[in-house]
């Protein structure tokens, strides 16, 4: 259909926008610009045979999580041939990029080009988008290079290593008029979308009041375990508050909107050490945090975690409203899970399974194919599909870099509150006006 629209352009649209018309000039110019933009986008994407080209994607950082992204693009390729083509793999450890490229060849018959640095890749490969799955400190460095070279990006969570790094990505996307998407997989899955629907649309819990997400267990320190970039704050940006925590903070915003203030303590009780190149070095991650998060909507919540709890452990995640609660049955980072249930004032219990079925049935065909194309329900497949489809159709992604910035700003508000010894205003953190904790990380990366 798009091909038809493009080929009809000169017959229908051109005379319309060129001929004198009665509309105000500014409106007319705006319309001309918009129509020409759309037509240029699609004509640029036409192959010699008049077909729309597959979206040409590179993966930068071919490690653990990127493997999930690779499988996702291959799943999309199989469900919708011609939608996406993996044309380049890049990792500073070249063998990893090569292994990914071989996997692509096994499935598609075509081996993507292999690179060990982003600059060479950008100078060589013809790309529509790059999917960035590096260590956190390299998110903004790679994203900005791509955007400045006219390549759209999707960046794994947390968007940038700090708030400033995230702003730098957003600014580069705006300056180059390109997409910067957040690779947030958790909230796209059926039970999370259902939780949002039952709380905000169906209002099953009544007025939303409070939540508690708490974990306690014991992890004995092991100085013989291997160092990893996550354990260095300048590379990781923080510990689990902002690693897996970036998912939960995104889910909290999805369910309750933006926070107003955050008060938190963050500690390392055990003296955590690991082995790096034969030397014992510090593991800089926290092992404990207690955060009170106040939302603009009036919801108040407690998010706590400790891996320094000897003798008794527990895990408890529950959301309360004026009519009942949603009791989760999983960890404090990735829910609400399929095993959750709603318990109402009248004592009735409603399984997440039955609520997912009700939510799915409530969706129109358009909503279903937008939220769960090809009936995909895996969050990584859905985020990759959304990125590719946004590029193909010249539209914003569902979750842009601003969404990533706002989620990670809850994590940063927790660190900043601890560093300042007082509650912090969330919007001040989002704006980058509070940077006691983040200052050394920003300095390390020249931000
Ligand atoms: N969405 C999720 O559920 C989920 C789960 C795990 C990790 N992640 C995220 O995925 C990202 C990667 O984490 P991981 O666990 O896969 O780490 P990893 O260490 O397994 O992989 C990172 C890869 O990036 C490469 N790399 C680092 N800097 C690079 C650069 N400048 N250029 C090219 N390659 C570079 C490394 O060599 C490595 O292969 C992080 O942002 C992490 O938070 C998300």
Please report, in tens digits, the pLDDT of each residue of the chain (447 residues total): 444 444 444 444 444 444 444 555 655 555 555 555 555 565 566 665 566 799 999 999 999 999 999 999 999 999 999 999 999 999 999 999 999 999 999 999 999 999 999 999 999 999 999 999 999 999 999 999 999 999 999 999 999 999 999 999 999 999 999 999 999 999 999 999 999 999 999 999 999 999 999 999 999 999 999 999 999 999 999 999 999 999 999 999 999 999 999 999 999 999 999 999 999 999 999 999 999 999 999 999 999 999 999 999 999 999 999 999 999 999 999 999 999 999 999 999 999 999 999 999 999 999 999 999 999 999 999 999 999 999 999 999 999 999 999 999 999 999 999 999 999 999 999 999 999 999 999 999 999
Atom of ligand 1 nearest to the CA of 334: 3
- 328, exposed or middle or buried, with CB in 10 Å at 0-12, 13-18, 19+? buried
Q: Of 56, 53, 86, 55, which Cα lies nearest the Cα of 71?
A: 86
Backbone angles phi, psi at 186, to 5 degrees: -65, -50
Q: What is the token pair recorded at 83? A: 């939608």
Q: What pLDDT, on the 0 to 100 scale, is given for residue 5?
A: 44
Q: What pLDDT, on the 0 to 100 scale, is given for residue 35?
A: 56
Atom of ligand 1 nearest to the CA of 142: 31
Do 46 and 6 form a contact (C-beta atoms < 8 A)? yes
Do 325 and 206 form a contact (C-beta atoms < 8 A)? no
User: From the CA of 91, how far away is ligand 1's center (Å)?
Assistant: 10
Q: What is the token pair recorded at 443? A: 């300095």
Distance of alpha carbon 395 from alpha carbon 387, whole angstroms: 10
Q: What pLDDT, on the 0 to 100 scale, is given for residue 28?
A: 54
Cβ-Cβ contacts under 8 Å for 310 (sequence gap 6 or more): 218
Q: Is the dihedral of CA 85, 88, 92, 98 positive or negative?
A: positive
User: From the CA of 138, how far away is ligand 1's center (Å)?
Assistant: 9
| Protein residue with least CA distance to atom 19, ligand 1 | 63
| Protein residue with least CA distance to atom 9, ligand 1 | 156
- Beta pairing, strands 55-60 & 84-90: parallel
DSSP reduced 3-state for 87: strand
Length of the chain: 447
Q: Is the dihedral of CA 229, 234, 240, 242 positive or negative?
A: negative
Question: Which residue from 72, 118, 135 has its CB within 8 A of the most atoms of ligand 1, so it is best to mutate?
Answer: 135
Q: What is the token pair recorded at 129? A: 């988008």
Q: What pLDDT, on the 0 to 100 scale, is given for residue 232?
A: 97
User: From the CA of 321, how far away is ligand 1's center (Å)?
Assistant: 38
Question: Which residue from 58, 63, 137, 399 has its CB within 8 A of the most atoms of ligand 1, so it is best to mutate?
Answer: 63
Tokens 């129509």 -> residue: 35
Atom of ligand 1 nearest to the CA of 65: 16
Rg (CA), the chain: 24
Q: What pLDDT, on the 0 to 100 scale, is given for residue 26?
A: 55
Q: What pLDDT, on the 0 to 100 scale, is given for residue 19?
A: 43
Distance of alpha carbon 407 from alpha carbon 157, whole angstroms: 9
Q: What pLDDT, on the 0 to 100 scale, is given for residue 52?
A: 78
User: From the CA of 134, how far away is ligand 1's center (Å)?
Assistant: 4
User: From the CA of 382, how far away is ligand 1's center (Å)?
Assistant: 19
Q: What pLDDT, on the 0 to 100 scale, is given for residue 21?
A: 46
Q: Of 65, 330, 26, which Cα lies nearest the Cα of 183?
A: 65
Number of H helices, E strands in the chain: 17, 17
User: From the CA of 239, how far away is ligand 1's center (Å)?
Assistant: 15
């Amino acid at each position: 259909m798009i091909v038809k629209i493009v080929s009809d352009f000169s017959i229908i649209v051109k005379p319309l926008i060129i001929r004198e018309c009665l509309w105000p000039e500014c409106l007319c110019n705006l319309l001309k610009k918009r129509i020409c933009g759309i037509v240029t986008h699609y004509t640029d994407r036409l192959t010699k045979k008049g077909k729309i080209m597959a979206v040409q994607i590179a993966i930068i950082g071919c490690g653990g999580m990127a493997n999930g992204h690779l499988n996702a693009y291959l799943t999309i390729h199989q469900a919708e041939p011609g939608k996406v083509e993996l044309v380049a793999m890049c990792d500073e450890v070249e063998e990893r990029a090569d292994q990914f490229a071989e996997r692509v060849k096994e499935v598609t018959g075509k081996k993507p080009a292999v690179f060990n640095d982003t600059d060479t890749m950008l100078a060589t490969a013809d790309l529509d988008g790059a999917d960035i799955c590096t260590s956190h400190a390299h998110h903004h460095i790679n994203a900005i290079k791509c955007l400045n070279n006219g390549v759209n990006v999707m960046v794994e969570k947390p968007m940038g290593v700090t708030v400033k790094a995230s702003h730098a990505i957003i600014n580069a996307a705006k300056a180059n008029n390109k997409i910067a998407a957040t690779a947030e997989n958790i909230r796209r899955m059926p039970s999370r979308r259902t939780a949002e629907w039952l709380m905000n649309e169906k209002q099953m819990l009544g007025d939303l009041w409070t939540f508690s997400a708490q974990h306690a267990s014991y992890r004995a320190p092991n100085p013989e375990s291997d160092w990893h970039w996550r354990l260095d704050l300048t590379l990781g940006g923080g510990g689990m508050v902002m690693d897996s925590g970036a998912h939960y903070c995104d889910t909290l915003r999805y369910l309750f909107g933006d926070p107003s203030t955050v008060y938190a303590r963050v500690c390392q009780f055990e003296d955590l050490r690991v082995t790096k190149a034969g030397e014992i070095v510090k593991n800089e991650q926290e092992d404990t945090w207690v955060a009170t998060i106040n939302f603009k909507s009036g919801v108040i919540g407690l998010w706590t975690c400790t891996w320094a709890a000897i003798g008794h452990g527990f895990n408890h995640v529950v959301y309360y409203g004026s009519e009942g609660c949603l009791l989760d049955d999983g960890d404090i980072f990735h829910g609400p899970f399929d095993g959750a249930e709603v318990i109402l004032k009248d004592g009735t219990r409603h399984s997440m399974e039955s609520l997912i079925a009700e939510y799915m049935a409530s969706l129109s065909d358009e909503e279903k194919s937008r939220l769960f194309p090809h009936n995909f329900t895996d969050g990584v497949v859905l985020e990759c599909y959304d990125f590719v489809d946004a590029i193909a159709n010249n539209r914003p992604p569902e979750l842009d870099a601003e969404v990533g910035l706002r989620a990670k700003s809850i994590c940063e508000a927790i660190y900043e509150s601890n560093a300042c010894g007082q509650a912090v205003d969330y919007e001040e953190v989002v704006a980058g006006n509070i940077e006691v904790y983040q200052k050394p990380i920003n300095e390390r990366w020249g931000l």
